[in-house]
Protein backbone atom coordinates (compact mmCIF):
# COMPACT_ATOMS: atom_id res chain seq x y z
CA UNK A 1 0.00 0.00 0.00
CA UNK A 2 1.35 3.40 -0.94
CA UNK A 3 -0.89 5.66 1.13
CA UNK A 4 -0.60 6.75 4.75
CA UNK A 5 -3.54 7.21 7.10
CA UNK A 6 -2.75 6.58 10.75
CA UNK A 7 -5.87 5.51 12.62
CA UNK A 8 -6.59 6.87 16.08
CA UNK A 9 -6.62 4.41 18.96
CA UNK A 10 -10.42 4.53 19.05
CA UNK A 11 -10.74 3.94 15.30
CA UNK A 12 -8.22 1.10 15.40
CA UNK A 13 -9.84 -0.66 18.33
CA UNK A 14 -13.33 -0.30 16.89
CA UNK A 15 -12.26 -2.15 13.75
CA UNK A 16 -10.37 -4.78 15.73
CA UNK A 17 -13.34 -5.32 18.05
CA UNK A 18 -15.71 -5.87 15.13
CA UNK A 19 -13.47 -8.58 13.67
CA UNK A 20 -12.92 -10.35 16.99
CA UNK A 21 -16.63 -10.21 17.85
CA UNK A 22 -17.34 -12.00 14.59
CA UNK A 23 -14.98 -14.88 15.45
CA UNK A 24 -14.16 -15.42 19.11
CA UNK A 25 -17.57 -15.93 20.79
CA UNK A 26 -17.87 -19.20 18.88
CA UNK A 27 -14.89 -20.47 20.89
CA UNK A 28 -16.36 -19.53 24.26
CA UNK A 29 -14.38 -16.34 24.75
CA UNK A 30 -15.83 -13.06 25.99
CA UNK A 31 -14.63 -9.54 25.32
CA UNK A 32 -12.78 -7.89 28.19
CA UNK A 33 -11.35 -5.05 26.11
CA UNK A 34 -11.38 -4.45 22.36
CA UNK A 35 -8.19 -6.48 21.91
CA UNK A 36 -8.36 -8.90 24.86
CA UNK A 37 -10.70 -11.87 25.18
CA UNK A 38 -11.05 -14.46 27.96
CA UNK A 39 -12.90 -17.71 28.59
CA UNK A 40 -13.41 -17.84 32.35
CA UNK A 41 -15.81 -20.76 32.36
CA UNK A 42 -13.33 -23.26 33.84
CA UNK A 43 -11.25 -21.58 36.56
CA UNK A 44 -8.54 -21.84 37.73
CA UNK A 45 -7.58 -22.05 34.04
CA UNK A 46 -8.71 -19.24 31.72
CA UNK A 47 -8.12 -19.40 27.98
CA UNK A 48 -7.07 -16.10 26.44
CA UNK A 49 -6.60 -14.50 23.03
CA UNK A 50 -5.33 -11.00 22.54
CA UNK A 51 -4.00 -8.63 19.93
CA UNK A 52 -0.89 -6.75 21.03
CA UNK A 53 0.34 -3.40 19.75
CA UNK A 54 3.84 -3.74 18.30
CA UNK A 55 6.44 -1.29 17.05
CA UNK A 56 5.79 0.41 13.74
CA UNK A 57 2.02 0.72 14.26
CA UNK A 58 1.49 -2.99 13.73
CA UNK A 59 -0.53 -5.59 15.60
CA UNK A 60 0.41 -9.13 16.64
CA UNK A 61 -1.68 -11.99 17.93
CA UNK A 62 -0.86 -14.01 21.01
CA UNK A 63 -2.80 -16.49 23.10
CA UNK A 64 -2.56 -19.07 25.84
CA UNK A 65 -3.72 -19.42 29.42
CA UNK A 66 -4.17 -17.32 32.53
CA UNK A 67 -3.76 -19.49 35.64
CA UNK A 68 -5.37 -18.44 38.92
CA UNK A 69 -2.66 -20.25 40.92
CA UNK A 70 0.24 -18.43 39.23
CA UNK A 71 0.99 -14.99 40.71
CA UNK A 72 2.73 -12.07 39.04
CA UNK A 73 5.19 -9.59 40.44
CA UNK A 74 4.26 -5.92 40.47
CA UNK A 75 6.20 -3.28 42.35
CA UNK A 76 8.44 -6.01 43.72
CA UNK A 77 5.48 -7.74 45.40
CA UNK A 78 3.54 -10.94 44.76
CA UNK A 79 0.16 -10.13 43.21
CA UNK A 80 -2.73 -12.15 41.79
CA UNK A 81 -4.92 -12.09 38.67
CA UNK A 82 -7.82 -14.38 39.48
CA UNK A 83 -10.76 -12.97 37.54
CA UNK A 84 -11.73 -12.55 33.90
CA UNK A 85 -11.19 -8.81 34.20
CA UNK A 86 -7.69 -9.08 35.66
CA UNK A 87 -6.61 -12.20 33.75
CA UNK A 88 -3.20 -12.02 32.10
CA UNK A 89 -1.28 -14.50 30.00
CA UNK A 90 0.88 -16.80 32.11
CA UNK A 91 1.41 -19.27 29.27
CA UNK A 92 2.11 -16.98 26.33
CA UNK A 93 2.19 -18.28 22.77
CA UNK A 94 3.58 -15.41 20.72
CA UNK A 95 4.46 -16.61 17.22
CA UNK A 96 5.77 -13.76 15.08
CA UNK A 97 5.65 -15.60 11.74
CA UNK A 98 1.99 -14.64 11.39
CA UNK A 99 0.84 -11.55 9.47
CA UNK A 100 1.04 -8.33 11.48
CA UNK A 101 -1.70 -5.92 10.39
CA UNK A 102 -0.83 -2.24 10.31
CA UNK A 103 -3.07 0.66 11.27
CA UNK A 104 -1.20 3.28 9.26
CA UNK A 105 -3.06 2.56 6.01
CA UNK A 106 -6.58 3.46 7.07
CA UNK A 107 -9.59 1.24 7.76
CA UNK A 108 -9.26 -0.75 4.53
CA UNK A 109 -5.62 -1.60 5.19
CA UNK A 110 -6.29 -2.73 8.77
CA UNK A 111 -9.33 -4.72 7.73
CA UNK A 112 -7.39 -6.59 5.07
CA UNK A 113 -4.56 -7.29 7.52
CA UNK A 114 -6.94 -8.70 10.11
CA UNK A 115 -8.52 -10.94 7.50
CA UNK A 116 -5.09 -12.33 6.76
CA UNK A 117 -4.13 -12.77 10.41
CA UNK A 118 -7.13 -13.99 12.34
CA UNK A 119 -8.09 -17.30 10.70
CA UNK A 120 -4.61 -18.79 11.12
CA UNK A 121 -3.99 -17.21 14.52
CA UNK A 122 -7.25 -18.59 15.89
CA UNK A 123 -6.53 -22.01 14.36
CA UNK A 124 -3.18 -22.09 16.16
CA UNK A 125 -4.77 -20.84 19.36
CA UNK A 126 -7.27 -23.71 19.25
CA UNK A 127 -4.38 -26.13 18.86
CA UNK A 128 -2.61 -24.64 21.88
CA UNK A 129 -5.78 -24.75 23.97
CA UNK A 130 -6.23 -28.43 23.10
CA UNK A 131 -2.63 -29.21 24.01
CA UNK A 132 -3.02 -27.35 27.28
CA UNK A 133 -6.16 -29.13 28.41
CA UNK A 134 -4.14 -30.82 31.19
CA UNK A 135 -1.18 -29.82 33.37
CA UNK A 136 1.31 -31.90 31.41
CA UNK A 137 0.08 -30.36 28.19
CA UNK A 138 0.61 -26.85 29.50
CA UNK A 139 4.11 -27.81 30.64
CA UNK A 140 4.75 -29.17 27.16
CA UNK A 141 3.78 -25.86 25.57
CA UNK A 142 6.22 -23.99 27.80
CA UNK A 143 9.03 -26.49 27.14
CA UNK A 144 8.51 -26.07 23.40
CA UNK A 145 8.72 -22.29 23.73
CA UNK A 146 11.85 -22.60 25.86
CA UNK A 147 13.68 -25.35 23.98
CA UNK A 148 12.68 -24.61 20.38
CA UNK A 149 12.50 -20.84 20.84
CA UNK A 150 9.18 -20.90 19.02
CA UNK A 151 8.03 -17.51 20.35
CA UNK A 152 9.02 -14.20 18.83
CA UNK A 153 11.20 -13.46 21.86
CA UNK A 154 13.30 -15.78 24.00
CA UNK A 155 11.82 -17.65 26.95
CA UNK A 156 13.61 -15.38 29.42
CA UNK A 157 11.94 -12.28 27.94
CA UNK A 158 8.48 -13.35 29.14
CA UNK A 159 8.23 -12.72 32.85
CA UNK A 160 5.24 -15.04 33.40
CA UNK A 161 6.52 -18.12 31.57
CA UNK A 162 9.10 -19.08 34.23
CA UNK A 163 6.53 -18.59 36.99
CA UNK A 164 3.98 -20.71 35.13
CA UNK A 165 6.60 -23.41 34.56
CA UNK A 166 7.58 -23.39 38.21
CA UNK A 167 4.07 -23.66 39.61
CA UNK A 168 2.89 -26.19 37.03
CA UNK A 169 5.90 -28.30 37.98
CA UNK A 170 4.89 -28.00 41.62
CA UNK A 171 1.33 -28.99 40.75
CA UNK A 172 2.53 -32.30 39.29
CA UNK A 173 4.73 -32.92 42.33
CA UNK A 174 8.10 -31.91 40.87
CA UNK A 175 9.02 -29.53 43.65
CA UNK A 176 12.75 -29.69 42.85
CA UNK A 177 12.23 -28.27 39.37
CA UNK A 178 9.78 -25.71 40.74
CA UNK A 179 12.20 -24.42 43.36
CA UNK A 180 15.11 -24.37 40.92
CA UNK A 181 13.07 -22.34 38.44
CA UNK A 182 11.98 -19.95 41.17
CA UNK A 183 15.55 -19.50 42.39
CA UNK A 184 16.62 -18.44 38.90
CA UNK A 185 13.59 -16.15 38.64
CA UNK A 186 14.37 -14.48 41.98
CA UNK A 187 17.96 -13.79 40.88
CA UNK A 188 16.93 -12.52 37.45
CA UNK A 189 14.43 -10.01 38.83
CA UNK A 190 16.29 -9.26 42.07
CA UNK A 191 13.33 -9.99 44.35
CA UNK A 192 13.74 -9.40 48.05
CA UNK A 193 13.90 -12.25 50.52
CA UNK A 194 10.29 -11.94 51.69
CA UNK A 195 8.81 -12.20 48.20
CA UNK A 196 11.19 -15.02 47.28
CA UNK A 197 10.09 -16.91 50.39
CA UNK A 198 6.42 -16.41 49.47
CA UNK A 199 6.95 -17.89 46.01
CA UNK A 200 8.83 -20.90 47.33
CA UNK A 201 6.27 -21.48 50.08
CA UNK A 202 3.52 -21.52 47.45
CA UNK A 203 5.42 -24.06 45.37
CA UNK A 204 5.84 -26.37 48.35
CA UNK A 205 2.15 -26.04 49.21
CA UNK A 206 1.12 -26.88 45.65
CA UNK A 207 3.35 -29.94 45.63
CA UNK A 208 2.09 -31.22 48.97
Evaluate if residue 1 carries a pLDDT over 50.
no
Q: How confident is the model at residue 136 (pLDDT cuts 50, 70, 90)?
A: very high
A 10 A CB-CB count for 187 gives: 10
In DSSP terms, 47 is beta-bridged to: 39, 65
Query: pTM for the complete prediction?
Result: 0.95
pLDDT of residue 116: 98
**Closest CA relative to residue 146, chosen from 135, 134, 158:** 158
User: In whole angstroms, what is the distance from residue 179 CA to residue 204 CA?
Assistant: 8
What average pLDDT does this structure show over 127-140? Answer: 97
CA 14 to the chain's CA centroid: 22
The percent of residues in the chain predicted with pLDDT above 90, rounded, is: 96
Residue boundaries of the structural domains of the chain: 9-207
Asked if residues 66 and 51 have their Cβ atoms less than 8 Å apart, the reply is no
Average pLDDT over residues 181-190: 94
Contact 24, 46 (CB under 8 A): no
- Asked whether 93 and 64 are in contact (CB, 8 A), the reply is yes
Cβ–Cβ under 8 Å, residues 51 and 63:
no
Which sign, positive or negative, has the C-alpha torsion 97, 103, 105, 108?
Answer: positive
Q: So what's the pLDDT on residue 16?
A: 98
Q: Is 50 exposed, middle or buried (0-12, 13-18, 19+ CB in 10 A)?
A: buried
Supply the pLDDT for residue 3: 76
Amino acid sequence: MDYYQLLSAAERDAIVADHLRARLPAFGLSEITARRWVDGSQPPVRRMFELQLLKGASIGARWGFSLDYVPHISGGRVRWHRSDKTAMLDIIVDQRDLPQPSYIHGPAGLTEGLRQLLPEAIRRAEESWRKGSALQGMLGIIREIRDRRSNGLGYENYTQLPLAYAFLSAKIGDVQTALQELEEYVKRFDLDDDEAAKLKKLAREYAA
